[in-house]
Amino acid sequence: MKILSLWPPQVPSYFNAGHHLPVFLTAAYLRGQGHEVKAIDAGALNMDWKRFADTAYQGRYDLVAIVNDFDNTDDFDRTVRYIRRLSPQTSIVTAGRLSVEAPAVFESTDVDGIVTSGDPESGVASFASWLGRGSDIGEIPPGLTVRHDCRWLRSARPGTLLPAAEWCLPDTSEIPYAAYGRMYQRDESKFCGIPDRRELVVPAARGCPIGCSYCDVPGVQGVKDRRLTVERTVAYIKESFDREPFEYVAFYAPTFTLNRRWTRELCTALRAEGSPYPWKCATAISHLPLDLLEDMAAARCVRVSVGLETLEPDGQGNLPPQKHISFGRFQELADACTRLGVELNCFVIAGLPGTTPLGVERTVAEIRSVGGRTRPTMYANIEELRRATTLEDAALYNRHLLHPFDADEQDLHELVFGEEKHITEVMQSVPQRTWPTGHPLRPRKPPTAQPN
């Protein structure tokens, strides 16, 4: 079957290359099933609609798999409309974080199938196999909702969460890493990457048991932690760095240090290589003991991001117990990061229940007083998002504007969207690589920040 794995054209609110990986993980998995697959991240490539129309028309695809997310709904209908008009023989399935959390949203669209549970790649593969068998509505694959005679039919069985041994790691040559680098060039946006350095994203783990009300991971990836082996992780890094001019590694995992034994083994393996790869990760403070941080620093961790959310006691009362962090514990972590040369990046949620604009401002001030970097977002309640039934409903939860509207929102805008004067310097810990004459280096440091 000829398949297009697609992130639709989009202007992003926030950018994390790891969120776009399902496009390429799905493509790799489908190829392993014998399909002919093209993978396109039309959003990061800033693909215009003429170019997208050319792609849809000329491709003559049997199936287009659109990866959905909380932030790429605005032009979803237009994407589907182009495919329907320009390639009417093509079937369309959608898979991603949003269709698992709020599947009813996509029942209002003109797709043929919706992956409502399980991993995206297993869901899309099941849908493709079902099409190939003749689309028998008596055997709808697990984790799928399909359209038949203007009705939506749902499988009663949950989709498959693949064991890590079955993940097919993406082909770095088809991922538009240069475009991703442009997204990270302007640190004032507080996106997740490091300016002027080429990032390799390694999908190291899926699943998290902590269960925060604003987090999709347990509902989408499950509460059980699934991880690549250390050996496979290091091999993928080495192969990727040998092939392309990557300069640091971004480990994509919900709570990177949740499995401390695995983390220590990884650090040991990286040190055995001479610690040649600067890297960053995200985790929870409760799962980051200081001795483990020392191991990470010795293995060349240059940034650790933590879900601090708030230092207000009333706000922490609305978080899981593992996220109740005293200022003293936070200060210890910050001091250790300073001593070890690891940038501390703190996720802060504006509008979190139990917090106030003044409290959010104090949390940010405390982070900056210890040399930390902040990444603020607006609160979005996953439980409320799950009740969304249209793309317009879902778009309200993109973590830029509070929903429902709250009078305090105006006081929070300065914290999230005001001028940012605290710019990262972590790139000083990530050397630029030099390559032989003739190697296709990406452009260095454009004179001005380039829009997507």
Altogether, the residues listed in the chain come to a count of 452
Determine, yes or no, domain membership for 107: yes
- What pLDDT sits at residue 410? 86
Task: Check whether 442 has a pLDDT greater than 90.
Answer: no
pLDDT (mean) for 96-103: 97
- β-sheet bridge partners, residue 282: 305
CB 207 within 8 A of CB 225: yes
- What pLDDT sits at residue 409? 84
**146 and 278 in a common domain:** no
What pLDDT digit, counting tens, does each position of 174-203 carry? 999 999 999 999 999 999 999 999 999 999
What pLDDT digit, counting tens, does each position of 64-86 carry? 999 999 999 999 999 999 999 99
- What pLDDT sits at residue 450? 33
Task: Check whether 209 has a pLDDT greater than 60.
Answer: yes
**229 and 88 in a common domain:** no
What pLDDT digit, counting tens, does each position of 240-274 carry? 999 999 999 999 999 999 999 999 999 999 999 99
Single out the residue of 282, 306, 342, 283 nearest to residue 16, CA to CA: 282
Determine, yes or no, domain membership for 406: yes
Instruction: Give CA separation, 421 vs 11, 47, 170, 188, 246, in Å.
Output: 24, 31, 36, 8, 28
At 33 the three-state DSSP class reads coil
Task: Check whether 451 has a pLDDT greater than 60.
Answer: no
CB atoms within 10 A of CB 186: 16
Determine, yes or no, domain membership for 174: no
Task: Check whether 275 has a pLDDT greater than 80.
Answer: yes
Q: pLDDT averaged over the chain?
A: 94
**377 and 253 in a common domain:** yes
- What pLDDT sits at residue 438? 55
**345 and 307 in a common domain:** yes
- What pLDDT sits at residue 447? 30
- Rounded Cα distance between 322 and 300, Å, is 27
**233 and 135 in a common domain:** no
- Rounded Cα distance between 269 and 232, Å, is 11
Burial 159-174 (b: 16+ CB within 10 A, else e): bbbbebeebbbbebeb
Q: Which domain holds residue 124?
A: 2-154
Task: Check whether 439 has a pLDDT greater than 70.
Answer: no
What pLDDT digit, counting tens, does each position of 363-415 carry? 999 999 999 999 999 999 999 999 999 999 999 998 998 887 777 788 899 98
Determine, yes or no, domain membership for 438: no
**187 and 47 in a common domain:** no
CATH of the domain at 416: 3.20.20.70
Give the total number of structural domains in the chain: 2
Determine, yes or no, domain membership for 51: yes
